[in-house]
Structure formats: C-alpha cells, structure tokens
Amino acid sequence: MNIPEGAVQRVVCAAVRHGDIVVCSARHADALMHSQLKAHGLRLPGCEQGFIDQFCNFLTREQAKEIAKENGQIIRRCGGDETRLFSENLY
C-alpha cells in the first residue's frame, strides 16, 4: 500500500475491484457504480467489494473495518458488520 509516513489512513468510499480495474462510488451497487461497471463490460457479481482510502489504495471489507474502527468512522451498525465494513456503517 502507498501510505505516506505519519499519515492517518481513512476509508473514503465504496469500491469494487476486478483485476486492475477499480470502480468507486458512494455505495456498493448504486446506480453510478453499475454504470461505471457497465462501461468496463463488468457486472457487480464477480467483482471484489471493498473500499478505498484517501491514497487510492483498495481495501478489503475486513481491512476497511479495522481502519474505520481505529479512526472512529463507524457511526452506525448494520447486520453482518462484525468483521466487515459496509458503507451503511460510515454514513
């Protein structure tokens, strides 16, 4: 990961990854994400869901959960979020 020394890593938005292609949006499976995936000839099933940080590093849901927890970014709980982050946890 590319994180400048001394920087505080934060989760900034939902993302999906398929190979080298990363698509970002406010939430997983929203209209913007679907349109971006379609432009790349991709569909949400078959992509790894996660997040990106402010340095454009892709984070798995598990990695993002730890980072968001450390930085007090989790403002609400939702089902299934014991070990994984969901965009609903952030806003």
Cβ proximity of 44 and 34 under 8 Å: yes
Alpha carbons 48 and 16: distance in angstroms, whole number: 5
Alpha carbons 73 and 91: distance in angstroms, whole number: 9
Alpha carbons 84 and 50: distance in angstroms, whole number: 9
**pLDDT digit string (tens) for 40-76?**
999 999 999 999 999 999 999 999 999 999 999 999 9
- The whole model's pTM is what? 0.92
Whether 91 shows a pLDDT value over 90: the answer reads no
